[in-house]
Structure 1
């Protein structure tokens, strides 16, 4: 990562001269200014903003990195985070990784140049490092939200994904369904893997197992979920019940039923995890597990503020990572029907 010292060395000037050019705080001769400008371009140096705040070791900025801003679930996260950050005296800077690890790495590089005081991250890269530092080498607290990707080395606020998958599946099994299919999220993510594990555990506890053909990844995307659900429902051995591991994928599944002229729950029962705006108006009302999104975001920002304060007071202090796990709530709708009377 290029620093102001690297630019100064390449230009053959002092760091004070580089700072004067970048921030326009003092006169610099045209010759020296040209050398500094050329070095900045050559090294692709992104100067730190908010210099006055940085001298005090703070920018009052919180970076929120979500994995898919097109997903209405994360719109709720952004709104809750903006309110919580403001209450703690911070401004929020929002980034979208679009579920791409390369985007996440680029965004984290950009965040370094902004010198944000902390980061609330919905991770997509399984290789995420536990420690994050800005361009000046200062520790930047990072709290993972919704998922974990660094083996517990940084703080996290998540939902019990295994419990979410198990709750839905147990309900479907209680209704008499044994051919239960699922549209999962990416299995390298704790959300995708955990919800599938919950389904498997619930079925195994009753001596059952899902068919391989009834487990398909929808990548937490409505269009992908539509495609794989259509293949599954068109197959000779159709599941009698289908668990979509996110609300946005459930919308894709419901579109499949509409396009095929099938009825829910008469032809197939549908349930999901997560809620998105407007899903309560869906007919039939969707059976689902819900996240306490606002409570989760508030807890994430509280932990982040605590870490920011700690770093300012004692940068060398290293407390164990905190992991807060919220429990999902099963909301019963009209989208599942019994195959037999229990």
Structure 2
């Protein structure tokens, strides 16, 4: 027969005190006489009562738990980051609670509020908005360790880990221009998101540097999902004069573009050239293989976790801003343009 776990009522009965007194003694709040407190503690130990330790740890913020709120856990980029953070957290004797904002600011705020109520010790966050960040500023004002990952937020001065999004996008578009393309499409997500804004800036900077006017007809905005990217790509390439090349801002959009081209009978790179930001597993299994802007995903999560655990260990120094470089990996999805 399985023995039921001891309850607070059981402890109070054994110690011959009220439940309120037992709760105060076990959770270290309010006044309880020394003799009574000892009786309650002895009763708890005899019964194997565990709830007091959890409650007290929660109250004092001593549970070894850190929180991580990412943009979309279904995105392979964020999935890998979550995995790497969890591995280092485990090495540091902590558990990780992961939430996905789904790129919705209200959901990010709600998740953060819920996790803070658990007295979680520190946070790693990929902020949905670069400007709406009062909830993040409140963490800083309350000295809660915070590391921003993949993105930064205005007026939030804390540790951060990002990549050179603008430079990576610029290199990709400059390569397309060097291959003779002038009608270069852009498939991007919401410009509230820091990475999207940075990559669009890199796209426009490369065009301007080559004397090519930016044309809104060459830009399609989509949610960062394969399904939405399919629809956006079809709209973009159903124009009378479509792009001769396409730059996509993440791997899910790249996959959506590939499916759209297949459904439209558009051949890569004969009919259109393609470069995607973010490498992904299928990029080398397609024919041709996909040219990508690669970022060091395997380093990003661990770098953010290291910064967080440095803070939790008591290290006090100015916020550390880590920015990794990107690399253009040339494969077979870009050909020289004859149409311009």
- Aligning the two structures, in what range does the TM-score lie when normalised by the shorter sequence? 0.7 to 0.9
Taking a change above 3 Å as real, the CA distance of residues 195 and 19 of structure 1, as seen in their structure-2 partners, is farther
Q: State yes or no: 1:296 paired with 2:294.
A: no
Q: C-alpha separation between the residues in 1 aligned to 2:27 and 2:62?
A: 21
Taking a change above 3 Å as real, the CA distance of residues 281 and 267 of structure 1, as seen in their structure-2 partners, is same
SS at match of 2:311: helix
Q: State yes or no: 1:267 paired with 2:271.
A: yes
Q: 1:189 aligns with which of 190, 193, 196?
A: 193
Corresponding residue for residue 131 of structure 1? 137
Q: Is the 8 A contact 1:118 1:308 kept in 2?
A: yes
Alpha-carbon distance, 1:59 to partner? 1.6
Q: 2:229 aligns with which of 219, 225, 242?
A: 225
Q: State yes or no: 1:73 paired with 2:73.
A: no
Q: C-alpha separation between the residues in 2 aligned to 1:147 and 1:49?
A: 37
Moved more, 178-187 or 52-61: 52-61
Q: Deviations over 1:265-323 (max 9, x none)?
A: 11101111012343332222111111111211111111111122227xxxxx6x43221
Q: C-alpha separation between the residues in 2 aligned to 1:209 and 1:59?
A: 55
SS at match of 2:314: helix
Q: Which runs of 5+ in 2 are unaligned?
A: 1-18, 30-51
Q: Deviations over 1:84-121 (max 9, x none)?
A: 21122211111111111111011001111121111111
Q: Is the 8 A contact 2:66 2:121 kept in 1?
A: yes
Q: State yes or no: 1:163 paired with 2:170.
A: no
Taking a change above 3 Å as real, the CA distance of residues 69 and 110 of structure 1, as seen in their structure-2 partners, is same
TM-score (structure 1 length as normaliser): 0.80
Q: Is the 8 A contact 2:27 2:55 kept in 1?
A: no
Q: Is the 8 A contact 1:63 1:94 kept in 2?
A: yes
Q: Which runs of 5+ in 1 are unaligned?
A: 1-15, 27-47, 312-316
Alpha-carbon distance, 1:147 to partner? 0.8
Q: C-alpha separation between the residues in 1 aligned to 2:28 and 2:92?
A: 31
Q: C-alpha separation between the residues in 2 aligned to 1:203 and 1:19?
A: 71
Corresponding residue for residue 119 of structure 1? 123
Alpha-carbon distance, 1:150 to partner? 3.2
Corresponding residue for residue 334 of structure 2? 336
Corresponding residue for residue 64 of structure 1? 68
Q: Is the 8 A contact 1:274 1:290 kept in 2?
A: yes
Alpha-carbon distance, 1:221 to partner? 2.1
SS at match of 1:83: helix
SS at match of 1:216: strand
Q: Which has the larger radius of gyration?
A: 2
TM-score (structure 2 length as normaliser): 0.80
Q: Is the 8 A contact 1:60 1:90 kept in 2?
A: yes
Q: State yes or no: 1:20 paired with 2:23.
A: yes
Corresponding residue for residue 4 of structure 1? none
Corresponding residue for residue 39 of structure 2? none
Corresponding residue for residue 205 of structure 2? 201
Q: C-alpha separation between the residues in 2 aligned to 1:147 and 1:133?
A: 17
Q: Deviations over 1:237-275 (max 9, x none)?
A: 110000001011001111111101111111101111012
Taking a change above 3 Å as real, the CA distance of residues 151 and 55 of structure 1, as seen in their structure-2 partners, is closer
Q: 2:320 aligns with which of 313, 322, 333?
A: 322
Moved more, 155-164 or 79-88: 79-88
Alpha-carbon distance, 1:53 to partner? 3.2
SS at match of 1:105: helix
SS at match of 1:186: coil
